[in-house]
Structure 1
Amino acid sequence: MADEKNETKVDSTLSKGLAILETLAAATDGKGVTELSRELGYTKSNVFRLLQTLKHLGYVKNREDKSYTATLKTWQVGRHTIENLNLRDVASEEMRYLSRETGETIYLAVRENLSVVYISKIDSIKPIRSWNPIGGSAPVHCVGAGKAILASNYTTLRDAVKGSLTRHTDKTLTRITDLDADMALTLERGYSYDSGEFREGIISVGAAISLPDQETIASVSISLPEVNLGDITKEKLGALVVEAAAKVSAKLQRF
């Protein structure tokens, strides 16, 4: 009896309205009152009444065929939630893991136009190290952090980046056909590789961090002087960074 008294009371009207909204947001096409009633097990009159409320509030709209779809207001609410997240805190555990495993410099970065900006980092513990300040930036096409984000959005960003392939070392990819191949390989293996394309002798690997809708919003990367590789391979570094990015992305699923 005590357990029953302590159970959280759920407002049935609110829960039904949210169920309708979630169903519409997940649908690839509009849904009518009858279809929603059948899928959710609600009466048609209840579904219709809740749809009118959601429509009045701007969360759903009618299509010409009288079906209903979710509006961008639903997406905007989700975006505000993501924007209010402290991504540094969300990714901190995985960054510490990468630091322990490699002893090298770990970066968390976001894209800003055709650059990446480092918003968090853990410094290397080794005498010879890679270094960029928090708030520092680099071209998106020639560092691991940037290339991971670029690959995930390459269809959209290709034309823009095509005219901005600035050379920084003799290894920088300055021909769009070479970048095309590199982006395809990045997507295939799941991580990017910078062979010293921004700074001589400094290599990096990166992996994309994505929202539940698969939109890439950031990347995590390992950066190190090539002389530090020793017994560890770029494939091993790639596997580590892919694992870390996947765990951060999974955390974002819960927000």
Structure 2
Amino acid sequence: MIDAAPKEPKVDSTLSKGLLILENLAGSQNGKGVTELSKELGLTKSNTFRLLQTLTTLGYVQHRPDKSYAATLKTWRVGRASVENLNLRELAAPELLHLSQETGEAVYLAVRENLNVIYIDKIDSQKPIRSWNAIGGSAPLHCVGTGKAILAADFNKLRDQVSGVLTHHTEKTLTDLASLDADISATLARGYAFDTGEFRDRILSFGAAITLPGGEPVGALGISVPDINLPEGGVDQYGGLVSLAARSVSAKLGRG
């Protein structure tokens, strides 16, 4: 007798549509209106409006004065709690320490929030000339090492979202999609991202994504280096170190 194939679990359509809206808004830097959301998600305007009202009542979405809708800090707190539940700081602490000892430079653990990275842990540089960012500080995905690493790991999903917000910060910032596409391809090929001074003048950074077994990025490790401190062969050296460290943390997540 041939066993029947297991039945697919039933999915509540209202809940799934509400989560689609929330994910869309959480991934956008700007608010969106009912019409825009309904077109992007293939929902009717009336259905979209009802779901937005529910999400607003529950505190996950806010209705702005310009009539657009945006995700609230409650959504951010839920996402941050998920990161905490992964024990990411604890898991990455040995690798963060190793990177600090090997380079002597500032090293960071970062996670994505919308189209930015947020630094959730760090070890400061002890060198006279140093790079510095605060825990809780942020930077756009497209112009720092940790951000570009996360972006590369989820580029199919994030490309369209980031295309309209390629903000200019230095003369080296990648502000057109063609340049970003090429940079992401290079990042994927070599296994680490390299910021050539694209967010702050003469501050270089290297990043590699920390991923779940399915490849979804949950964060990134990074090294930030004033260009004057970079040794000969330092690009490959630091890139290789951060890539190996991120793979080590990812492996721990896979065993969790």
Give the structure-2-normalised TM-score: 0.69
CA distance in 2: counterparts of 1:82 and 1:173, whole angstroms = 29
CA distance in 1: counterparts of 2:93 and 2:11, whole angstroms = 31
CA distance in 2: counterparts of 1:233 and 1:123, whole angstroms = 19
> By how many angstroms is 1:81 displaced?
7.7
CA distance in 2: counterparts of 1:104 and 1:94, whole angstroms = 14
| Residue aligning to 1:68 | 7
CA distance in 1: counterparts of 2:11 and 2:87, whole angstroms = 24
Once superposed, what is the RMSD of the aligned Cα atoms? 2.1
2:3 partner SS: helix
Structure 1 runs of 4+ with >3 Å offset: 69-73, 80-83
CA distance in 2: counterparts of 1:34 and 1:185, whole angstroms = 47
Preserved CA contact (<8 Å) 2:221 2:242: yes
Residue identity over aligned pairs, in percent, reads: 55
> By how many angstroms is 1:86 displaced?
2.0
Structure showing greater radius of gyration is: 1
CA distance in 2: counterparts of 1:217 and 1:96, whole angstroms = 19
CA distance in 1: counterparts of 2:83 and 2:219, whole angstroms = 12
| Residue aligning to 2:183 | 182
Residue 219, structure 1, aligned to residue 188, structure 2: no
Unaligned residue ranges in structure 2 (runs of 5+) = 13-80
Specify the code of the residue in structure 2 equivalent to 1:68.
Answer: K
**What is the 5 A alignment of 1:73-112?**
84-112=85-113
**Residue number among 31, 34, 48 corresponding to 2:3 in the alignment:** 34
| Number of residue pairs the alignment of both structures matches | 188
CA distance in 2: counterparts of 1:98 and 1:72, whole angstroms = 44
CA distance in 2: counterparts of 1:236 and 1:72, whole angstroms = 48
Unaligned residue ranges in structure 1 (runs of 5+) = 1-31, 36-65, 74-79
Preserved CA contact (<8 Å) 2:111 2:219: yes
Give the structure-1-normalised TM-score: 0.70
Distance 1:70 1:101, change over 3 A: farther
> By how many angstroms is 1:83 displaced?
5.1
**What is the 5 A alignment of 1:143-158?**
143-158=144-159
Preserved CA contact (<8 Å) 2:83 2:218: no
Preserved CA contact (<8 Å) 1:33 1:67: no
Preserved CA contact (<8 Å) 1:206 1:219: yes
> By how many angstroms is 1:68 displaced?
2.7
